Amino acid sequence: MAVLVSGTGSILEAMLRVGLPVDLVGADRPCRGLGIAADAAISTVLVGRDDWTASQAGGVGEAGGAAGADGGMGPRRFDRKGFSCELAAVLAGQGIDVVAMAGFGTVLDVSFFAWGDGRFRGRVLNTHPSLLPAFPGWHAVRDALDAGVSESGCTVHVAIPEVDAGPVLAQRAVPVLAGDDEAALHERIKAVERELYPATIAAFLERCAGDGGSKLEPNCRQEGQTR
Ligand code: GRF
């Protein structure tokens, strides 16, 4: 299994604490998560967004990535398909067949899921800091606060090409408390994600093993919510 990170990597740390079999940690930018992997003697790979970003008109925006200024040369264009195919090839080359995104800041192109005759289809997992389908997107915690909801939470799901969608494997609610700001609520949600995501991945891997390595997508479609 590979874990994909872009940031702090506290969920990766939680996975390692419970002994999940993490064979490889991949990142789209230099980040603390890569250091956590290196400290744990886990192989790392950096497929940099910047290497797939050209200074052209028509930039895209997400997760502090390639959008925006490029030294005054105008918006930058991110080659999402090229990046996604390169990442798929690198992971496959390392023998990876299950991928867990843990704060990964790049939306994978449909070509990632189709790569190698659908090698990763139904085998890419994600955790998101809201009770999907409520509040998809990069600002899920902020959006929940802005909406004035009394509870939010987190969702572990099988990733599909549509962002923050796909079969739900587990969800858990987290109350919004008086005085919560984005950082405080996100940290309480992440505390739950650090338990729920590793446990859900462990169960998923068990089913993968029991599946004899065949595609899990049909089984995943049968999954019900645990909340
Ligand atoms: C988590 O809240 C996850 O749901 C979101 O990014 C955060 C990652 O946190 N996609 P960390 O980098 O593992 O601390």
pLDDT in tens, 50-95: 999 986 544 444 554 444 333 344 567 999 999 999 999 999 999 9
The radius of gyration computed from the CA coordinates of the chain, to the nearest angstrom, equals: 17
Instruction: Identify the pLDDT of residue 63.
Output: 56
- List, for residues 16-62, the tens digit of each pLDDT value: 999 999 999 999 999 999 999 999 999 999 999 999 998 654 444 45
Q: Which atom of ligand 1 is nearest to the CA of 128?
A: 4
- The sign one gets for the Cα dihedral 114, 52, 201, 131 is negative
Residue 190 CA: nearest ligand 1 atom is 2
Point out the catalytic residue in the list 128, 139, 157, 186. Answer: 128
In this prediction, what percent of the chain has a pLDDT beyond 70?
83
For residue 106, the one-letter residue type is T
The whole-number pLDDT of residue 37 equals: 98
Closest among 207, 216, 205 to 119, alpha carbons compared: 216
Mean pLDDT of the chain: 88
The pTM of the full predicted model, rounded to 2 decimals, is 0.87
% pLDDT > 90, the chain = 81
Give the residue, by CA position, lying nearest to ligand 1 atom 7. 103
Secondary structure (H, E, C), the chain: CEEEECCCCHHHHHHHHCCCCCCEEEECCCCHHHHHHHHCCCEEEECCHHHHEECCCCCCCCCCCCCCCCCCCCCCEECHHHHHHHHHHHHHHCCCCCEEECCCCCCCCHHHHHHHHHCCCCCEEEEECCCCCCCCCCCHHHHHHHHCCCEEEEEEEECCCCCCCCCEEEEEEEECCCCCCHHHHHHHHHHHHHHHHHHHHHHHHHHHHHCCCCCCHHHHHHCCCCC
How remote is the CA of residue 2 from the centroid of ligand 1, in Å? 16
Q: Does residue 222 have a pLDDT over 90?
A: no
Q: Specify the pLDDT at position 208.
A: 87
What is d(CA 184, CA 145) in angstroms, rounded to the nearest whole number?
A: 11
Report the separation in Å between the CA atom of 11 and the middle of ligand 1, taken as the mean of its atom positions. 6
Mutate to test the pocket of ligand 1, among 32, 99, 127, 138 (most ligand atoms within 8 A of CB): 127
Q: Is beta strand 53-54 parallel, antiparallel or unpaired with respect to 99-101?
A: unpaired
Q: Is the CB of 129 under 6 A from ligand 1?
A: yes
Q: Report the pLDDT value the prediction gives residue 149, as an integer from 0 to 100.
A: 98
**Of all protein residues, whose CA lies closest to atom 4 belonging to ligand 1?**
128
Instruction: Confirm or reject: Cβ of 174 under 6 Å from ligand 1.
Output: no
Nearest protein CA to atom 14 of ligand 1, as residue: 10
Concerning whether 128 is annotated as a catalytic residue, the answer is yes
pLDDT digits (tens, 9 = 90+) for 158-189: 999 999 999 999 999 999 999 999 999 999 99
Neighbours of 44 (CB within 10 A): 16
| Stretch 124-139: mean pLDDT | 98
What's residue 168's pLDDT?
Answer: 98
Question: Which residue's C-alpha comes closest to atom 10 of ligand 1?
Answer: 103
Q: Residue 210 has what pLDDT?
A: 77
> How many angstroms does the Cα of residue 226 sit away from the middle of ligand 1?
21
